[in-house]
Amino acid sequence: MTRPDVIVIGAGAGGAATAWRLTQRGLHVLIIEAGPRYEPARDYKLHTARWELERFPFKPGAQGKHSFDVNVPLAPKWDDLHSWNAVSGRLNRSGERVVADAGYHHVRGVGGSTLHYTGESHRLHPKSMKLHKDFGVGADWPLSYADLEPYYTEAEKLVGVAGSKGEGARWRSEPYPLPAHLLCKASRHIAEAAHSLGMHWQANSRAALSRPYDDRPACNYCGNCGYGCPIGDKGSADVTFIRHALASGRCTIQPDTQVTRLMSNADGRITGIEAVNAQQGVQVLEAPVVVLAGGAVETPRLLLNSATSTFSKGLANGNGQVGRNFMDSLIWVSTGMVDAQLDSYKGLPADAICWDYNAPDGIPGVVGGCRFTSATQEMGLTGPVNYARRIVPGFGAKFKQDMRSSLGRALSVSGFGEMLPNEDTRIELDLSRRDASGLPLARIRSRLTEQDFRRLRFMAGKCREILKAAGVKTLVEEFSTYDYFSATHVFGSCRMGEKPEDSVVNAFGRAHECKNLYIADASIFPSTGGGESPSLTIFALAIRTADHIAQKADRSG
């Protein structure tokens, strides 16, 4: 490719959608991706006996390194929210909040974190976009649901989202491209139990095909979206946006290539990007426009690591907002055993959802809502290893009998809640820890507030209530972000806004201080929503940003 029209940094949800739309508009795009390519049929291990051990197979370079500042003493007042299971008892005995596994659960690669995502495809509640105006907290989006709605529709069509007719406040100009999935047996059981409590559950809108579409097969309900989809029904960015972008002939991807610096002039224009890989060493790449889509942790990291004498606090960071307003994930899951055999390891993960408490005023006494989902498969209770390690205690002959009688009878319900920005939660550079290129790592600093604990307690109460109504007599596991930092969804660290003094980018994702730099990932979200999964909103914003870039390119000739 001769010099591209746009360089996109990151081939995850935002980068892929941006690149696709730009190629549709006739622009040439170079995507630089830090991680590897995945070949679904070869790389994912769901056809092997060891699939539970292999989980999502992280190839070399598929995970970034980060440091964490999350360890604060756990407040006894909220101790009923601790994580535990039937085999291990209390899981965190340290007395402090700690990092669970990798902490920030992500994938670097062509497709990014969509490679391991469940594929919930949610539009944001319109009220979540006006938190400051309507509720006096957080920040408002500088655009409305109506502005974004056409792009939601475009993204749903490209991905092949399967959904049911209506989702309350989230009005639609067109129906979903595919019909909703029918619920699996376990989720029907949950929905019926919740209905008896006055809750309304429905089929979740999912980036998993309910029938063949776009040369991809329908889902076969194997229950393990999070371990990588080998057949391609899951609408990860590689088999959707990236595939079509490459087919246009106007897109090139350079995987396994780390961008180390954005080079800029005194006016704040990006003049080039410095990138490094094993084959070519250090290269400097140029394009008139750069789109940064590294996610809410790596995007601010790159900006902060691109400081110059003119922009001493980091690129696009004259106001000190880069890295601020970071928001992560508020999660509660309860699991119990029912007497009936529900085959709960089978079916589409998160196929059923309840939006009853999702609006910002949905939970009594707090601002910021939540949603509830059928979670058994998402919790990994799809095979014997996880049952044995976590929820079936004991040993010997009786244990083996218990295992045989338990498989398929676990039932999990999860709550996902809103987080509001706070002064103490942010992304910073950790000058004491550096990567192979000598660049400081991102340090993820997370603190929960009283409102977060109250939302967690509400979610815990509801999950337990639903399971009890479903016939659960014995709870066997509960997981909570009260005592663990465990974030799949991260947001806010380069938020969009009308005013340059308290935001990093404008309503089209363009950096206030860098006229040819755009950001297209969840770092630009001013709010998280009441538990909505962000991928569809990332896709929609990215497509809108790409249209804006293309229009400006047309006008400039």
Residues of the shown chain interacting with other proteins in the complex, contacts defined by CB under 8 A: 44, 46-53, 87-89, 93, 181-185, 219-224, 230-231, 341, 343, 345-347, 382-385, 387-389, 395-397, 399-400, 403-404, 407-408
Between CA 104 and CA 446 the distance in angstroms is 11
Query: Pick from 4, 21, 6: which is nearest to 539 by CA?
Result: 21
CB of 202 to other proteins, least distance (A): 15
Instruction: Outline where DSSP puts E strands in 381-439.
Output: 410-417, 426-434
- Write the CA distances from 532 to 31, 159, 222, 248, integer angstroms: 28, 17, 24, 32
CB of 182 to other proteins, least distance (A): 4
Between CA 32 and CA 17 the distance in angstroms is 14
CB of 408 to other proteins, least distance (A): 5
CB of 346 to other proteins, least distance (A): 4
CB of 94 to other proteins, least distance (A): 12
Residue with tokens 């998993």: 208
Between CA 512 and CA 496 the distance in angstroms is 9
Q: Which residues lie below 8 Å from residue 491, measured CB to CB, with a gap of 6+?
A: 296, 326, 327, 328, 419, 522, 523, 525, 527, 528, 534
Residue (178 or 520) nearer to other proteins, CB:
178
CB of 221 to other proteins, least distance (A): 5
Residue (64 or 228) nearer to other proteins, CB:
228
CB of 196 to other proteins, least distance (A): 20
Residue (51 or 241) nearer to other proteins, CB:
51
Residue (230 or 323) nearer to other proteins, CB:
230
Residue (183 or 494) nearer to other proteins, CB:
183
- Cβ atoms of residues 409 and 341 within 8 Å: yes
Q: Which two tokens stand for residue 468?
A: 């009890």
Residue (53 or 282) nearer to other proteins, CB:
53
Buried b (16+ CB within 10 A) or exposed e, 151-172: bbbbbbebbbbbbeeebeebee
* 519 CB-contact burial (10 Å; exposed 0-12 / middle 13-18 / buried 19+): buried
Phi-psi region of 410 (alpha: psi -120 to 50; beta: other; left: phi over 0): beta
Residues in the chain, how many? 557
Q: In the chain, how many H helices and how many E strands?
A: 12, 23
- Cβ atoms of residues 441 and 66 within 8 Å: yes
Between CA 221 and CA 208 the distance in angstroms is 9
Buried b (16+ CB within 10 A) or exposed e, 462-497: bbbbbbebbebeebbbbbbbbbbbbbbbbbbbbbbb
CB of 388 to other proteins, least distance (A): 4
Query: 206 phi and psi, to 5 degrees?
Result: -135, 140
CB of 215 to other proteins, least distance (A): 18
Residue (51 or 201) nearer to other proteins, CB:
51
CB of 187 to other proteins, least distance (A): 10
Residue (392 or 524) nearer to other proteins, CB:
392
Task: Give the per-residue SS3 of 199-243.
Answer: CCEEECCECECCCCECCECCCCCCCCHHHCCCCCCECCCHHHHHH
Residue (266 or 397) nearer to other proteins, CB:
397
Residue (93 or 200) nearer to other proteins, CB:
93
CB of 51 to other proteins, least distance (A): 5
Q: Amino acid identity of 446?
A: S
Residue (187 or 545) nearer to other proteins, CB:
187
